[in-house]
Structure 1
Amino acid sequence: MEHLPIKLNDLPDEIIVFILRKLYNVDVLYSLVGVNKRFSAIAHDSIFTSRLTLTYFSNDFTYPLPDPMLDRFCSKILHEIHHKIKRLHLEPTSMQRILLATNYPNLCELGLYSIDVEEAVSLFIDDTTFTGVDKSQISSLIIDMNRNKKKISTTDINKIIFTRIFTMFTNLQYLTFGPSSNWDQRFSFDTPFPNIISLNLLELHICVTYFSDLLYLLDGRFNQLHTLHVNIFRIKCNPSTIDSGEKLPNLKSFSLYSDLRTHVYDELIVPFLHRMLNLEKLDLHLMVDRHKGFINGNDFKKNIINYMPQLNKFTFNIRLFNHISNKFNLPSNEDIQYTFKDLKDNQVISCVDLFQEEKHRYCHIYSYPYRMKYYDHISNNFPGGLFKYVHKVSLYDEYPFEHDFFLRIEKSFPFMKELTIFNVKPQKNKLNRKSKNGNQELSIVKYPHLIRLDLFQAHDDYIEQFLVDTEICLPNHVHLSVNYEAMKRVTENFTRNTTRINCTKLRSLCLAGANGITKHVKDYFPHTKVF
């Protein structure tokens, strides 16, 4: 390659731009600005300057630019391209410095990531950080609260931040307000609700605590809203759940997510959906505890679809639990699938289970392809498929998981990072390292992207399967959580050689119930943080 006569500078601009578009804009600008007149002109093109992300994202975390890169941007590059920047995305440690480095006359979108509560309050109360920004020109705002820092402690702080956003950015049309993680930082407005009105807001993405917070957002104060994505911590009836029942004719797209069981699907959620006369897109992700049978295609048609004549896209992920009595009827997967025959634009997957020890029936229905990052409650009845977006998986059954089942999980979740197993039943077909014919080696299960493994509530057989390297090949840097006594049994008091290879790959090990970590244990995990 070094003897080829063609160099980068010999390529036409179109080819160079095509190559550079494979890189981050921040890296293109840092590498090419000032190299020569031609490359600087290419780097100044709107392709690389109109949208600028001055932070790095990795595994749902944000990281600041290295100091030399940040220094050069603030002292030189931003001054040259500031009038071309339309979209700017920042993280908190460098945010103030970047925003004050120059003015941004054409900025219309601002993204602020991993901000904690104190930073958010300071930012929106004292708005001197935005002196270089025409706030009336900002039409799109992303506020991503940091899940690892302080949580909001009072609803007053919620109201302050939310109110100030609309006071400062008077022409806001798009707002994402909340955490990148759905589990931690949420907002609750509570009564008396802040007196905010916006005739400009068209799209809102937000994580709230209660259903009453959703009703507040749709009480008419944002009457031009056409798209709403909301994640609710808890959906239940309470004294503040007061709904006027007024129709929502402007709402075209609605997404509702909640990962805690709700008992009021029929009483609260379905009547609420009836208000959306002109809805075109609906996305429901819910856990439902229901006493009147499973939710299926007939139920959707009768209670939802018939009320939405404009609906053209309906996606869902419903996990439903029925408590069983002495008499129960468990419909088959075929019965459930048949009820979706009229949803011709959707491929629907169903999985039905009966858990007699827990005394409940379980039905999981979802539209495929599956877009969520997690897939919970997988049993032996798992129908399979390819789930390339899923990073977090949990397995649960009252029947044992055998080796072939873990191979199915490998094929279905190629990018799985976190795995939790809830199963206390011993395996019936314990491996003898050979297949039935005694000659061919059994396939080794491989989870190449796994970083977290939770076996707290797993039988010893599954702990053994994951630690014996001839059964499962663990990648390096796995965080394992397991019961101390179970680990002691499986590793034969931390002396067993067949589990030693996978144990050396552990980055950290949480031994629940351990009464101190002895040197004997530490020696078995020479490269592992044990606690």
Structure 2
Amino acid sequence: MEYSRIQLDDLPDEILLIIFEKLNKLSVLYSLAGVNKRLNVIVHSPNFTSRLNLLRCLSDHSIRSLPKRRLERFCSQLLPEIHHKIKWLNLEPISIKRILLSTTYPALYGLGLYCNNIEDAMSLFTSDTTFNHTVKNQISSLVINIRENINSNSSQCFYTNLFSLIFTTFLNLQYFNFAQSSLHHQRLSFGLSSPTLISSSLLELNVRVQDFTDCLHLLDGRFSQLRTFRVDVYRIFSASSRTNNKVKLPDLKSFSLHCDMRTHAYDELIMPLLRRMLNLETLDLHLNLDFNTGFIDGNHLKENIVNPMLRLNKFTFNICLFNYLPHEIDLPSNDEFQNTFNNILDHQIISCLDYFHESHYSYFHFYTFPYTLKSYDNITNNFPGGLFDYVHTISLHDERPFESDFFLRIALSFPSMTSLTVINQQPQKNDNQYLSIIKYPHLKVLNLIEANDDYVEQFLVDNKCDLPNYVCLYAKIESLTTVTHNFTRDATRINCSKVNYTSFDDVSSFSKDFRKYFLHVDIDM
């Protein structure tokens, strides 16, 4: 039997395009441009030329320039050939000047600048030769990503100065993302003084700030055309009210406020800000609130947010309310609480209400579905279930015991989970040996420091749980000693040999059985 030999050139254009779309687009352009006329037409199409990533991101997320030989060919040949088709460039500091000077870019409107540290980013805007006059006027969209993992006052000062320099460099900026990095310490902080920057062209801003005051500074009218504002605030506290800004924001159409730290200032600061935004069309709130009196439910959202905002057509939220109320106050049941969310812009809303009698507080959690955040905290036995494909980090906390079937529900609801923390001191009541082995295929971090020994056993016994290799395990050595029967128990040996146990003690004092039992140990002292 003879086999036909099909070459790349024998495939129709549609099939080639499907194949090339699955590959690194920059590599496709580099490898196939100039091979023949037909391939040249395909790789010169907008799919491969309109947006170029002219940099490398290594496995540790550090940024590097392209290899010298590849960079040389792009600058001397490929970029001049396709210069009129390029609309967006992702660049890094070392090669940016060479790339921008290699040709003209008449269609270029967007830049993504990726830097390893704040000094590299600052150098781009303190040098007169990085961006020529044409590029400065062309750029309307900008993304800044700084990898630096240093939390210092000087770094924060540079970060704030950089923010101001950008607006003096790109005078026609319309879209600006200054919050793309996941490193939460990179935040703007203007301190007591109001910043001097101003822009009459900016339409959309995405940024992280230190205090709520910084958010108010950015909404004081300096961005007169601002339509969309997304802000992640580190802390919202009463001292932030020193900025007395009550100017209405009639042009703002979309607003997103995200704050992980718990705040008491909902009525004092957050609601007054929302009342300035009467013409909002989309609103997104992610808040953790402390209340000593009263509580927030669906009726509050309708009366104070949805009804006053007549143009609002999309309202998403994830709100956690910690309510410290006297025992004699009557609180609603879970069903009563859920019913208050009926008819809020036809959104599906999930709510969960828990009472922590030992700690004397109630916990209200309500959010619009589908859930879009990457973390889900304080999950209790009242967890309503559902599928959360994009959540990676979760924490479990309750005063009632978590049984094995609960952990099975969690594993099924969070298939992409990489980090799990269990906070529960109550022992399990049921053995549940009939359940199948629970698997966490993507788990990387398991924190059992504040967990009863039963939950340490839940994860280490091999007929209850199958852990992947090299999971970073945090647990008390006393719990491990008990659960593993002083490091001799066969039922926990397999999972213990897989994990990377992180100890806060000097493991040299541990027994030989421990060192044979846990094959991978890190010391965090």
Same fold (TM over 0.5): yes
Match of 1:274 in 2: 275
Match of 1:482 in 2: 475
State the one-letter code of the partner of 1:490. Answer: V
Shift of 1:159: 3.9
Match of 2:250 in 1: 249
| Gapped regions of structure 2 (runs ≥ 5) | none
How big is the alpha-carbon RMSD for the aligned residues of Structure 1 and Structure 2?
A: 2.6
Shift of 1:411: 1.0
Shift of 1:366: 0.1
Shift of 1:270: 0.9
Aligned residues: 522
Shift of 1:13: 1.8
Query: Helix, strand or coil: the match of 2:216?
Result: helix
Shift of 1:180: 2.1
Aligned partner (choices 480, 492, 497) of residue 499 of structure 1: 492
Match of 1:287 in 2: 288
* Residue 24, structure 1, aligned to residue 17, structure 2: no
State the one-letter code of the partner of 2:82. Answer: I
Partners of 1:166 and 1:504 in 2: how far apart?
54
State the one-letter code of the partner of 1:297. Answer: G
Match of 2:35 in 1: 35
Partners of 2:515 and 2:108 in 1: how far apart?
55
CA contact (8 A) 1:254 1:283 kept: yes
Shift of 1:61: 3.5
Query: Helix, strand or coil: the match of 1:185?
Result: coil
Structure 1 residues 452 and 98 mapped into 2: Cα distance closer, same or farther (>3 Å)? farther
State the one-letter code of the partner of 1:479. Answer: C
Aligned partner (choices 485, 507, 510) of residue 502 of structure 2: 510
Partners of 2:518 and 2:101 in 1: how far apart?
50
Query: Helix, strand or coil: the match of 1:366?
Result: strand
Partners of 2:260 and 2:233 in 1: how far apart?
8
Partners of 1:496 and 1:443 in 2: how far apart?
21
Q: How does 1:52-201 map to 2 (within 5 A)?
A: 52-55=52-55, 61=61, 64=64, 67=67, 69-70=70-71, 72-74=73-75, 76-91=77-92, 95=96, 98-99=99-100, 102-131=103-132, 134-146=135-147, 148-149=149-150, 151=152, 153=154, 156-181=157-182, 183-201=184-202
Shift of 1:76: 4.3
Identity, % of aligned positions:
52
Match of 1:439 in 2: none
My pick for the range that moved more, 421-430 or 207-216, is 421-430
In the TM superposition, what whole-angstrom CA distance separates every residue of 1:31-76 from its partner, at most 9, and x where no partner exists? 3223333223311212111011234668994554773655654554
In the TM superposition, what whole-angstrom CA distance separates every residue of 1:300-352 from its partner, at most 9, and x where no partner exists? 11111122100000000000010132313231221112111121520000000
Partners of 1:271 and 1:96 in 2: how far apart?
46
State the one-letter code of the partner of 2:139. Answer: I
Query: How does the TM-score come out when normalised to structure 1?
Result: 0.91
Partners of 2:194 and 2:400 in 1: how far apart?
50
Shift of 1:378: 0.2
Partners of 1:384 and 1:337 in 2: how far apart?
15
Query: Helix, strand or coil: the match of 2:260?
Result: strand
Partners of 1:182 and 1:365 in 2: how far apart?
27
Query: Helix, strand or coil: the match of 1:304?
Result: helix
Structure 1 residues 231 and 258 mapped into 2: Cα distance closer, same or farther (>3 Å)? same
My pick for the range that moved more, 131-140 or 374-383, is 131-140
Match of 2:220 in 1: 219
Match of 2:210 in 1: 209
Structure 1 residues 198 and 22 mapped into 2: Cα distance closer, same or farther (>3 Å)? same
Query: Helix, strand or coil: the match of 2:458?
Result: helix
Shift of 1:400: 1.1
* Residue 464, structure 1, aligned to residue 465, structure 2: no
| Gapped regions of structure 1 (runs ≥ 5) | 436-441
CA contact (8 A) 2:91 2:113 kept: yes
Structure 1 residues 79 and 5 mapped into 2: Cα distance closer, same or farther (>3 Å)? same
Structure 1 residues 511 and 247 mapped into 2: Cα distance closer, same or farther (>3 Å)? same
* Residue 407, structure 1, aligned to residue 408, structure 2: yes
Shift of 1:2: 10
* Residue 228, structure 1, aligned to residue 229, structure 2: yes
Structure 1 residues 502 and 84 mapped into 2: Cα distance closer, same or farther (>3 Å)? same
In the TM superposition, what whole-angstrom CA distance separates every residue of 1:217-256 from its partner, at most 9, and x where no partner exists? 0111101000000000001121663233111010000000
My pick for the range that moved more, 420-429 or 150-159, is 150-159
Partners of 1:474 and 1:38 in 2: how far apart?
50
Partners of 1:131 and 1:333 in 2: how far apart?
61
Q: How does 1:443-454 map to 2 (within 5 A)?
A: 443-454=436-447
Match of 2:50 in 1: 50
In the TM superposition, what whole-angstrom CA distance separates every residue of 1:422-474 from its partner, at most 9, and x where no partner exists? 1111111135xx42xxxxxx211111111111111111111111111211111
Structure 1 residues 461 and 127 mapped into 2: Cα distance closer, same or farther (>3 Å)? farther
CA contact (8 A) 2:507 2:523 kept: no
Shift of 1:152: 5.0
Structure 1 residues 151 and 32 mapped into 2: Cα distance closer, same or farther (>3 Å)? farther
Query: How does the TM-score come out when normalised to structure 2?
Result: 0.92
Partners of 1:390 and 1:138 in 2: how far apart?
35
Query: Helix, strand or coil: the match of 2:239?
Result: coil
Partners of 1:500 and 1:94 in 2: how far apart?
51
Partners of 1:259 and 1:193 in 2: how far apart?
25
